[in-house]
């Protein structure tokens, strides 16, 4: 059981990395502190889908990690 959980966590982590990398637009850290004007814009279409999928993958990764600790 623990082996399957670890494999699932590795697969989810790879998809999570891909999801995070797809979100980056080269805005850099300056946009987080008000340097970019497009930081608080509305996400639409594929961009919104990638953001939602990344959030779901992050929650799933966290849940798999907790379950993996409890099973061990």
pLDDT of residue 40: 61
pLDDT of residue 11: 97
Q: Contact, 61 vs 9, CB < 8 A?
A: yes
pLDDT of residue 45: 86
Per-residue pLDDT reduced to its tens digit, 13-69: 999 999 999 887 655 555 555 555 555 667 788 888 999 999 999 999 999 999 999
Q: Contact, 71 vs 2, CB < 8 A?
A: yes
Q: Which has more pLDDT, 8 or 32?
A: 8
Number of domains the chain contains: 1
- For residue 35, the SS3 value is coil
> Is a pLDDT exceeding 80 seen at residue 5?
yes
Owning domain of residue 32: 2-71
């Amino acid at each position: 059981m623990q082996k399957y959980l670890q494999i699932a966590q590795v697969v989810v982590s790879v998809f999570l990395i891909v999801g995070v990398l797809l979100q980056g637009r080269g805005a850099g850290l300056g946009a987080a502190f008000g340097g970019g004007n497009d930081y608080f814009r509305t996400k639409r279409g594929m961009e919104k889908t990638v953001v939602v999928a990344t959030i779901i993958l992050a929650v799933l990764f966290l849940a798999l990690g907790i379950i993996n600790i409890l099973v061990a």
